[in-house]
Amino acid sequence: MKQITSLKEMSQHSRKIKDRGQSIGFVPTMGTLHEGHLSLIDAAKKKCDVVIISIFINPLQFSQSEDLKKYPRNLKKDKNTLKSFDPIILFTPSEKDLLPHNSSAVVDVEGLSKKLCGKSRPGHFRGVATIITKLFNIIRPDHVFLGEKDFQQQIIIKKLVKDLNYNIEVTSVKTLREYDGLAFSSRNTYFNERERKAAPILYKTLLRAKEAIEAGERDPRRLHYIMAQHVGREPIAKIDYVGLCDPSTLDDVKTIKGDILLAVAAHIGHTRLIDNMVVHAK
C-alpha cells in the first residue's frame, strides 16, 4: 500500500495515473475505518482502476463545543485494515499543509447546508464542503464514493460537484448496519454498554415511520409525532430532530407521496448520532 502525505506528491501521482488513462476512485474519510467505509472502498474498487482513500480529521467541520479533541484516531489500525485492499493509495495530509493558518477561502453550499443537521451544527457543512473541494483539487478524482448514512452530506457534495462544474461522478453507497440495525459509524466507539444498547433507537424510529406509511398514514404532522414519540421510548436518548423531507431539497414534505427522506438525530449520552432512510409512498 502506498501512503502519501505531501500535497504536491499526491497531485503529481494523480496526474501520472490519469496520463496512463486510468480512472481514479476517491473515498474521503476521517479514519477509524469500519465496515461502512470498507463497503465504499469495495464499490470504488469495482468501478475504478485506482482507488485513493484519504484520512484527515477535518477541524473545520467541528464546532468549538464538539468532539474534535476526542475524535478517535487509529491510523496504525486503519493501515492494517487497508492492507487487504492493496493495491490502494492512502492519502494522509497534515493539518498544517492542508489548512495553513493564513488560508481563508471557504466553500458554502447555501440552502441545503442550513437544513436538518445544519441547524444544530452551524458551519459544519461549510467545513465539509471546503475540505472536500481542496481534496478534489489535489486528487482530481473521476468518481467519489459516499455513504448514504450521511444523507445530507452526500447531497451537499453532489450539489457542490454540479455547481462548481467538477467532472466527478458521485456514487452513494447503501448504509451498512450492525446486527441490531445501528448504522456503522466511527462514533459508535464512544458508547458504554448502556448507550450501545440504546443506540438502535434511531433505526427503530425510522422503521416505525416506514411501517406507519406502509399502513396508510398520510399526515406528515402525525408521522412527525409518531417518530418523536418513538425516540422518547428510549430514556437516555435526547432528540435533536426528526424529519420527513423531500430527498432532493431537504424541505419538510407537505404530503406523503413519492420518495420521502425519513431523518433522525439524537444524543445518546454525549454522542450525537444521525440516521436516514428513503421510503416510497404511493
Tell me which residues touch ligand PAF (CB under 6 A): 28-30, 58, 61, 128, 131-132, 150, 153
- Give me the catalytic one of 37, 124, 143, 230: 37
Question: Rounded to the nearest whole angstrom, what is the least distance from the CB of residue 39 to ligand PAF in the complex?
Answer: 14
Q: Starting at the earlier edge strand, list the strands of the sheet with 2-4.
A: 2-4, 89-91, 50-55, 24-29, 143-147, 169-173
Which of residues 153 and 175 has its CB atom nearest to ligand PAF in the complex? Answer: 153
Instruction: Mark residue 216 as left, alpha or beta (left: phi above 0; alpha: psi -120 to 50; beta: remaining).
Output: left
Instruction: Answer yes or no: are the C-beta atoms of 27 and 41 closer than 8 Å.
Output: yes
Which of residues 128 and 262 has its CB atom nearest to ligand PAF in the complex? Answer: 128
Q: Has 230 been annotated as catalytic?
A: no
Question: Rounded to the nearest whole angstrom, what is the least distance from the CB of residue 139 to ligand PAF in the complex?
Answer: 12
**Is the omega angle on the peptide bond into residue 87 within 30 degrees of 0, that is, cis?**
yes
Which of residues 61 and 276 has its CB atom nearest to ligand PAF in the complex? Answer: 61
What 3-state class would DSSP assign to 133? helix
Which of residues 30 and 68 has its CB atom nearest to ligand PAF in the complex? Answer: 30
What sign results for the dihedral spanned by CA atoms 118, 121, 122, 124? negative
* Cα separation, 56 vs 85, whole angstroms: 19
Question: Rounded to the nearest whole angstrom, what is the least distance from the CB of residue 98 to ligand PAF in the complex?
Answer: 11
Question: Rounded to the nearest whole angstrom, what is the least distance from the CB of residue 206 to ligand PAF in the complex?
Answer: 20
* Catalytic residue list: 37
